[in-house]
Amino acid sequence: MPADGWRRASGVMLGALTALNGLNYLDRYVAAGTLPLILAGLAISDAQGGLLQSLFIVAYSLVCPVAGWLGDRQPRLRLAALGVFVWSAATVASGLAPTYALLLVARAVIGAGEASYSVVTPSLLSDCYPAERRARALGIFYAAIPVGSALGYILGGVVGEAYGWRATFFIAGAPGAALAFLLLLLAEPRRGALDGAASAPVSLALGDSLRSLARRRSYVVNTAAQVIYTFAMGGLATWMPTYFVRVRGIPLASAASTFGVLLVVAGFLGTLLGGRVASGVARRWPGADFVVSGWSLTVSIGFTLVAVLAPQPVVFWPAMFVTLFLLFVNIGPLNAAMANVLPAELRARGFAVTTMLMHLLGDAASPWL
């Protein structure tokens, strides 16, 4: 390997993007982990607390199409690095916000920064791995979601109780602002280099892009599935620690830590297993990605009801573990199916439209509802 060969290595790209994806979700959910302290510290209502997450998602969703449009035209690593720096700086600023209104603004800026990163990274990884290996690679990338989310809950609950909710934002935001520069050292992969047969040229015009996406039935079904999944996860992720404090009478540090541990273990295993199973079955069955995702989402409904309604910890904690495991099984397969059905020139925009819809119709609404 040449001296600078590491800059082009697919494993280095996957490792760097996965680590930053973990920070992405840590910064996203640290507010949920310390939400009871924010409610008390700023003297705001539950609806106002839920709006912190909902406004974040609205800003995230509105920036997604812009980021997708730029991602199909400009160097994606630069756009991703800018997003990391913006969301990290805004996370630190959240801890400095003296009023609820300014905290809302900071959360919206975090959403804009995270959108710039999240939209282009699946496209980058799809150009680093061939179609038959994408589900596994994307499974590893998305396995950072439960890890980062869990660390956000734990950081928010434990550090928040010990040092106050503002300290959690300082600790959460500092690493990303420095690590953003790591992405600028990597080499941009060529678009569509590993897609096999060349696809027909795709127009870059907005209307033509949307019509091209709408004509792809598997893309439309995939987007609908991700909306449903995100709606369920948004409500659970935002309010579960607060629910366990109020309804179950569990101390905040214990509730946030326990939920965080369940999330990281169940989510990590579910995401990796979903990607591995889909990659293995796809060699013999082209529709494996949708089958694996569909079954996992359907079965999770029953366990969710048990987790919320069961009176005893010996029942509701294991049920919550299974719920999270099944919800995360579908992430790798669904995103691999989307990457495989979209031509390279349309990939960033395709992920952008899906991300916008799944958040506007999913976890922008569910935390507030």
**What is the domain-level CATH number for residue 21?**
1.20.1250.20
Here the contacts of 244-250 (C-beta below 8 Å, separation 24 or greater) are: 245/36, 248/313, 248/316
In single-letter form, the type of residue at position 196 comes to G
Instruction: Produce one character per residue of 127-162: b if its CB has 16 or more CB atoms within 10 Å, e if not.
Output: bbbeeeebbbbbbbbbbbbbbbbbbbbbbbbbbbbe
Q: What pLDDT does residue 276 have?
A: 76
* Contact (CB, 8 A) for 26 and 16: no
Which among 14-23, 134-143, 183-192 has the top mean pLDDT?
Answer: 14-23
Rounded percentage of the chain residues whose pLDDT exceeds 70: 92
Give the range of the structural domain holding residue 359, as residue numbers without chain letter: 12-187+208-363
Q: What pLDDT does residue 340 have?
A: 81
Q: What pLDDT does residue 196 have?
A: 59
Q: Is the pLDDT of residue 54 over 70?
A: yes
When pLDDT is cut at 50, 70 and 90, the band that residue 201 belongs to is low
* In a domain? residue 56: yes
pTM reported for the whole predicted model: 0.76
Q: What pLDDT does residue 123 have?
A: 87
Q: Is the pLDDT of residue 200 over 60?
A: no
* In a domain? residue 193: no
Q: How far is CA 328 from CA 146, 155, 281, in A?
A: 8, 22, 18
* Contact (CB, 8 A) for 65 and 117: no
d(CA 184, CA 181): 5
Mean pLDDT of 270-293: 74
When pLDDT is cut at 50, 70 and 90, the band that residue 87 belongs to is very high
Q: Is the pLDDT of residue 175 over 70?
A: yes
Q: Between 345 and 27, where is the model more confident?
A: 27
DSSP letter at 361 equals I
* Contact (CB, 8 A) for 229 and 300: no
| Counted domains in the chain | 1
* In a domain? residue 124: yes
Q: How many helices (H) and strands (E) does the chain have?
A: 15, 0
Mean pLDDT of 166-173: 94
* In a domain? residue 201: no
* In a domain? residue 199: no
Mean pLDDT of all residues belonging to the chain: 85
